[in-house]
Amino acid sequence: MKKIIVLATLAITLFSCHPNRQRDAQISFKLKDIHQEDYYYKVHIAYPLVESYWSNCRFEDTFNREMTSFADSTLAEFQGKELAEKKQVVDQALKESPNPRPGYRYEMSLTHQWFNIYNGMLSLRFKKYEYALGAHGNTWFICYNFSAADNRFLTIDDIIDRSTPEKLQELAEIISQYLDNPEDCFAVTADDLDNDFQNVNFTNDDIIFSFANYQIGPYACGTAVVHIPIEVLKKKNLIQPEFLKMLQPDE
């Protein structure tokens, strides 16, 4: 079995967590890139860790602890079925299949995308893909939003006002308007946006809603990512006022 762990350092300019929050302050992110591979399974996990230059940056521990815990638990979940059992299943499937596809094995990948790194407000989305020898693999989204100034992760309800059924219905209608929906493949309802829905990110201008396979349509429709201008949601009173103050402190 091959195991490769690569660490890369990426410097990103954003606000420091120093009280004066100087605009030219800099935080360094370390990218942890983990590969594990054998003929019966393949794993790739990539996630960011903060490397801070300021002794009072308490958020470094908070952020890194959650990122590490999430990556570790994702790997542990994949390995929940003993690797020896995975090997046995792959061997049996290869034996029974007259034309197995190349590289027929269990697969899991966890990659991430940044949406915001400004004003001490971090927003990133993980995309998890897993293939378990079925007809196709599946994709999930896991979103994290973080305030360095408050040293805490933000929930969707810190960002979006979902306090009434009427607001949920209005939010569903707005998402439907901005959704790229060829042949009406997707259908977004208020029930899709209730307490079980958590996949929201932000830029300085937009709120991003991410929907995994099967979440708002059949597998053939794929995943969906919807960008809605903050101003549109603000006019409908669907954005939390305190979030706007954190995101746009100068306005």
DSSP secondary structure of 4-48:
EEEEEEEEEE---SSTT--TT-EEEEEEEEEEEE-SSEEEEEEEE
pLDDT grade, residue 4 (50/70/90)? Answer: very low
Q: Which runs of E-coded beta strand occur in the chain?
A: 2-13, 26-37, 41-51, 106-118, 121-131, 138-147, 152-153, 200-202, 206-211, 224-229
Residue 16 pLDDT greater than 70, yes or no: no
Q: What are the structure tokens assigned to 202, written together?
A: 């932000």
One domain for residues 189 and 106: no
Cβ within 8 Å of residue 115, ≥6 positions away: 123, 124, 125, 201, 202, 203, 208
- Whether residue 208 contacts residue 202, with contact meaning beta carbons closer than 8 Å, is answered with yes
One domain for residues 66 and 144: yes
Residue 60 pLDDT greater than 80, yes or no: yes
pLDDT grade, residue 87 (50/70/90)? Answer: confident
Pick the more confident residue, 1 or 75. 75
Q: What is the mean pLDDT of residues 58-70?
A: 92
What pLDDT is recorded for position 99?
62
Domain end: 154, 184, 200, which one?
154
One domain for residues 20 and 71: yes
pLDDT grade, residue 112 (50/70/90)? Answer: very high
One domain for residues 97 and 200: no
Task: State pLDDT tens for residues 91-104.
Answer: 777 676 656 555 67
One domain for residues 67 and 189: no
Sort strands 41-51 and 106-118 into parallel, antiparallel or unpaired: parallel
Query: CB count, 10 Å around CB of 155?
Result: 11
Domain end: 135, 154, 173, which one?
154
What pLDDT is recorded for position 81?
63
- 25-39, 121-135, 184-198 — which is least confidently predicted? 25-39
One domain for residues 116 and 160: no
How many Cα atoms are found within 13 Å in the side-chain-facing hemisphere of 37? 10
Whole-prediction pTM: 0.84
One domain for residues 117 and 196: no
One domain for residues 143 and 24: yes
The mean pLDDT of the chain is 84
- Whether residue 73 contacts residue 83, with contact meaning beta carbons closer than 8 Å, is answered with no
Instruction: Look up the CATH number of the domain holding residue 161.
Output: 3.90.640.20
- 25-34, 48-57, 72-81 — which is least confidently predicted? 48-57
Task: State pLDDT tens for residues 205-241.
Answer: 999 999 999 999 999 899 999 999 999 999 999 999 9
Q: What is the mean pLDDT of residues 12-33?
A: 57
Residue 251 pLDDT greater than 80, yes or no: no
One domain for residues 68 and 15: yes
Domain end: 137, 154, 171, which one?
154
Instruction: Look up the CATH number of the domain holding residue 42.
Output: 3.30.565.40
Residue 1 pLDDT greater than 60, yes or no: no
What pLDDT is recorded for position 100?
59
Range of the domain at 67: 1-154
One domain for residues 202 and 133: no
Could you give the number of structural domains in the chain?
Answer: 2
Pick the more confident residue, 195 or 202. 202
One domain for residues 175 and 134: no
One domain for residues 134 and 163: no
